[in-house]
């Protein structure tokens, strides 16, 4: 291709026609490259994870692996306390964040007058922008003393982590479920109100069911955010790799999550040791859990969609 | 013949826009009253004033009286949900909920706490029969309502409306989204329903008004130009404006 402007201008038909096609070709392939690279990178990550973490599941007897003692220095690698820790914190966070998030979304989308919505929505989006470590810090200095004063042995507990995680996932849950509520046609609300339903009956029996798939996505994304969070949780859960005794108060005892374990121990571990491999093994377990949650969400949303159109339409 | 609804000197405003101007209209019991007029003349606004559905729009205001059995529905103590229970509505576009056929019809009785589950089955069946839909769908009550065709959906909406045993049914261009065959079915249904219910229908379609209604009101720019028995209004309109509209010279 010529860079001489006079030349380019002179032969208009033969030279300039193919030029946009080359541009097109370049753009098309750049886009393709970007798309493919995502797939390749995910594949590589998974391979790497398998290579580094795989020995965990081969070298450690399964009985020990799913045992209840995590003493890496003595060579005992029981993942159960870490899994229980992650579950306690995550489930606790879900129990706090889902009702709170849904109620807030309903208030924002259905009840609040416009001027309040205009104030509240940016505030909630700002909550999403707070770095997680700052929330963890807040949990450490403000929430933990409260919990200790309320009677727990220490303020650094699974519950503290759950509250912090809940507030971390709230913006996701609120804004996505509010979008889902917003997408419900006004005709449905009119139809319910015109029969004599109250506003609450309309929301509960018509709007929420119609927005169900969007709400499920919101909850799943919120959980995804919660289960993968590391630093804030590490600060406030006490970091004790033991399984709390099964009781009503177990959520008020210190735990350690899978993510916190990786972050805390990766720096000190000898590369290539069994301990090192096991930390990657934990990564694989996390990966599987997250993948399971995502495909479960996909399935719930998918069957719902299929039922709605009923095959005929 | 009694007036089920008496509208007296009724005005309605969207903000500063004066949408309905001093309307006085009698709605006769167990008759079909049709409201015709060009788009934007206020007939839908008027219809939605009869069950206060306009309350859901911010910045609206109403003056004057709408008497339902002699009681002003705009009086301060009126329970709007109770009013809408008595004055049901069918919308322009079929709007069944994205739920099963059964749940759509059962919605009203359930929220109003009208019936236990056994009586509910009977109400659902009667309502679907009343809407002329039972024979077509009795074996697929649990199918999603959105799998029905538009004509069936609209009749399902009528079944949903009559399931709570209203006294008046308002219909806002109920056939405008339907094909001619489905339209005919809904019109036949209206004639049958008029034996039990007072019906007010807004329509763009003058033939439809002439076919189904007993009384017709002609709206123009928020005012009621003429009101009278349908046969008389179409055969010998009193106002010149009415005549030019129904003969297609204006509108």
Does pLDDT of A67 surpass 90? no
**Region A229-257 average pLDDT:** 74
Whole-number pLDDT of residue A246 = 60
A interface test, pick of B93, B111, B141 with most A CB neighbours within 10 Å = B111
CB contact under 8 A, A210 and B96: no
Task: Give the model's confidence band at A312: pLDDT under 50 very low, under 70 low, under 90 confident, else very high.
Answer: very low
What pLDDT shows up at residue A174? 92
Please state, for a pLDDT cut of 90, what percent of chain A lies above it. Answer: 20
Instruction: List the structure tokens of B217.
Output: 């009101």
Residue B129 or A293, more confident: B129
Contact A197 B82 (CB under 8 A): no
By Cβ distance, the residue of B51, B91, B144 closest to A307 is: B144
pLDDT at A226: 77
Encoding tokens for residue A227? 């289960």
Q: Which residue of B has its CA nearest to A309?
A: B147
Residues belonging to chain B with any Cβ–Cβ distance to chain A shorter than 8 Å: 51, 53, 56, 81-85, 88-89, 91, 93, 95-99, 107-108, 110-112, 143-144, 146-147, 157, 160-161, 164
Among A71-75, A111-115, B76-80, name the one with the lowest average pLDDT.
Answer: A71-75
The per-residue pLDDT for B251 is 59
Quote the crossing angle between the two packed helices B150-162 and B117-130, to the nearest 10°: 130
Closest CA to B200 of B158, B170, B162, B176: B170
Of B84, B96, B99, the CB nearest to A195: B84
What band does B171 get if pLDDT is binned at 50, 70 and 90?
A: very high
Contact (Cβ atoms closer than 8 angstroms) between residue A241 and residue A85:
yes
pLDDT at B71 (0 to 100): 92
Residue B147 is nearest to which of A187, A197, A313, comparing CB atoms?
Answer: A313
Q: Is the pLDDT of residue A303 over 70?
A: no
Whether domain B3-246 has CATH 3.40.50.300:
yes
pLDDT, residue B168, reads 95
Chain B residues whose CB is inside 8 A of the A190 CB are 53, 56, 89, 91, 95
Higher-confidence residue: A224 or B197?
A: B197
Residue of chain A minimizing CA distance to B165:
A195
| Predicted confidence (pLDDT) at residue B13 exceeds the cutoff of 90 | yes
- Cβ contacts (< 8 Å) between A308 and chain B: which residues? 98, 144, 146
Of residues A276 and B142, more confidence is placed in B142
Please check the confidence at residue B32 and state whether its pLDDT lies above 90: yes
- DSSP designation for A270: P
Q: Which own/partner contact pairs does A294-303 have at CB distance under 8 Å and 24+ positions apart?
A: A294/A220, A294/A224, A296/A220, A297/A216, A297/A217, A297/A220, A300/A213, A300/A216, A301/A213, A301/A216, A301/A217
**With pLDDT > 70 as the criterion, what percentage of chain B qualifies?**
99
The whole-number pLDDT of residue A244 equals 67
What residue of B is the nearest CA neighbor of A313? Answer: B147
- What average pLDDT does range A193-219 have in this prediction? 91
pLDDT tens per residue across span A127-184: 888 888 888 888 888 888 888 787 777 778 888 888 888 888 899 899 999 999 999 9
Confidence of residue A263 (pLDDT cuts 50, 70, 90): confident
Separation between Cα atoms, residue A234 and residue A133, nearest integer Å: 10
Mean pLDDT of A215-224: 85
d(CA B75, CA A36): 67
Better-scored residue on pLDDT, A304 or A40:
A40
Q: What is the mean pLDDT of chain B?
A: 91
Q: Which tokens go with B216?
A: 């017709």
Residue B198 bridge partners (DSSP): B168
Greater pLDDT, A59 or A190: A190
Q: Is B123 helix (H, G, I), strand (E, B) or coil?
A: helix
Say if the Cβ atoms of A195 and B110 lie within 8 Å. Answer: no
The answer to whether the CB of A283 falls within 8 A of the CB of A53 is: yes
Checking if the pLDDT of B151 tops 50, the result is yes
pLDDT, average across residues B108-117: 85
pLDDT in tens, B232-248: 999 999 998 999 888 88
pLDDT band at B36 (very low <50, low <70, confident <90, very high): very high
Of A185, A201, A308, the CB nearest to B144: A308
Task: State how far the Cα of A259 lies from the Cα of B143, in Å rounded to an integer.
Answer: 45
Nearest residue in chain B measured CA to CA from A212: B98
Helix axes A212-228, A274-309, angle to 10 degrees: 170
> Which one, of B136, B111, B113, B110, lies nearest residue B124 by Cα?
B110
Query: At which residue do the structure tokens 């005709």 appear?
Result: A187
Return the domain boundaries, chain B: 3-246
- Report residue A183 CA to chain centroid gap: 23
């Amino acid at each position: 291709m010529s860079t001489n402007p006079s030349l380019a201008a002179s032969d208009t038909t033969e030279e300039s026609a193919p030029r946009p096609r080359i541009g097109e070709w370049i753009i098309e392939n750049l886009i393709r490259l970007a798309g493919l690279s995502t797939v390749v990178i995910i594949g590589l990550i998974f391979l790497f994870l398998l290579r580094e973490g795989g020995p965990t599941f081969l070298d450690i007897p399964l009985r020990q692996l799913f045992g209840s003692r995590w003493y890496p220095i003595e060579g005992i690698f029981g993942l159960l306390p870490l899994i229980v820790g992650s579950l306690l914190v995550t489930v606790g966070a879900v129990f706090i964040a889902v009702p709170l998030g849904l109620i807030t979304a309903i208030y924002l989308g259905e009840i609040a007058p416009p001027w309040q919505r205009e104030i509240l929505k940016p505030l909630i989006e700002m909550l999403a922008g707070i770095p997680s470590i700052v929330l963890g810090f807040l949990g450490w200095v403000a929430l933990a003393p409260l919990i200790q004063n309320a009677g727990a042995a220490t303020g650094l507990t699974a519950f503290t982590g759950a509250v912090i995680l809940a507030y971390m996932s709230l913006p996701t849950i609120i804004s996505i479920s509010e979008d889902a509520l917003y997408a419900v046609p006004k005709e449905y609300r009119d139809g319910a109100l015109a029969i004599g339903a109250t506003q609450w009956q309309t929301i509960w029996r018509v709007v929420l069911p119609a927005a169900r798939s969007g709400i499920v996505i919101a909850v799943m994304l919120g959980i995804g955010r919660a289960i993968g969070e590391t630093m804030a949780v590490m600060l406030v859960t006490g970091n004790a790799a033991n399984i709390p005794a099964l009781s009503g108060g177990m959520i008020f005892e210190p735990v350690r999550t899978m993510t916190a374990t990786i972050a805390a121990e990766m720096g000190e571990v000898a590369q290539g040791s069994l301990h090192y491999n096991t930390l990657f093994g934990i990564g694989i377990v996390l990966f599987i859990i997250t993948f399971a949650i995502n495909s479960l969400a996909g399935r719930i949303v998918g069957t719902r969609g299929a039922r709605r159109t009923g095959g005929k339409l | 013949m009694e007036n089920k609804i008496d509208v007296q000197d009724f005005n309605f405003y969207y903000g500063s826009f004066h949408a309905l101007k001093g309307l006085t209209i009698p709605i006769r019991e167990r008759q079909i009253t049709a409201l015709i007029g060009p788009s934007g003349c206020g007939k839908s606004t008027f219809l939605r004033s009869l069950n206060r559905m306009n309350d859901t729009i911010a910045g609206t205001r109403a003056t004057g009286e709408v008497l339902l059995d002699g009681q002003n529905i705009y009086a301060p103590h009126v329970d709007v949900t109770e009013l809408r229970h008595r004055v049901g509505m069918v919308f322009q576009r079929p709007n069944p909920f994205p739920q099963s056929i059964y749940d759509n019809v059962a919605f009203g009785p359930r929220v109003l706490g009208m019936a236990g589950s056994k009586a509910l089955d009977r109400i659902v069946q009667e309502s679907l029969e009343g809407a002329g839909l039972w024979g077509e769908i009795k074996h697929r009550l649990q199918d999603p309502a959105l799998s029905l065709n538009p004509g069936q959906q609209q009749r399902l909406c009528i079944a949903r409306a009559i399931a709570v045993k209203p006294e008046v049914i308002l219909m806002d261009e109920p056939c405008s989204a339907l094909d001619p065959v489905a339209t005919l079915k809904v019109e036949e249904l209206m004639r049958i329903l008029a034996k039990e219910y007072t019906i007010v229908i807004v329509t763009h379609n003058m033939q439809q008004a002439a076919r189904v209604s007993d009384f017709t009101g002609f709206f123009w720019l928020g005012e009621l130009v003429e009101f009278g028995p349908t046969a008389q209004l179409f055969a010998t309109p009193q106002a010149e404006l009415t005549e030019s509209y129904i003969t297609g010279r204006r509108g």
